[in-house]
Amino acid sequence: MPRLIAALDEQCAEIEKEALRQGSKLAEHERLKSEAQIAKEAYQKLFERGEDLVRKSIPRMDYVAIQERASPATEVVQSGLIPVWRIWTAESKS
């Protein structure tokens, strides 16, 4: 009977150590989670302030683009050069 009590006491001590280790890990996890949430909220506030600054600094104007009709294509002829399409045209055999 005393051996059984000693064995159970030893198991209880091991379980308590494991519970303390797990508890400290859980507390660390909760702390990191809350720090991450605080950092996330701070980032969101800074992002919103940046957006507000951009909105306030850019005056609202309507932009209108005016396009003109394209001019017809023209051929630029330079003297002394032979157009390429004349080199490849088929010659008539007479």
Rounded CA separation 8/1 (Å): 11
Q: Tally the residues of the chain.
A: 94
* pLDDT, greater one: 73 or 38: 38
pLDDT digits over 33-60, tens only?
999 999 999 999 999 998 888 887 776 6
DSSP state of 68: P
**Maximum pairwise Cα distance, the chain:** 128
pLDDT for residue 68: 81
The mean of the pLDDT values for the chain is: 82
DSSP state of 88: S
Q: In Å, how far are 15, 31, 36, 67 from 40, measured between CA atoms? A: 37, 14, 6, 47
Q: In Å, how far are 19, 26, 35, 44 from 30, measured between CA atoms? A: 16, 6, 9, 21
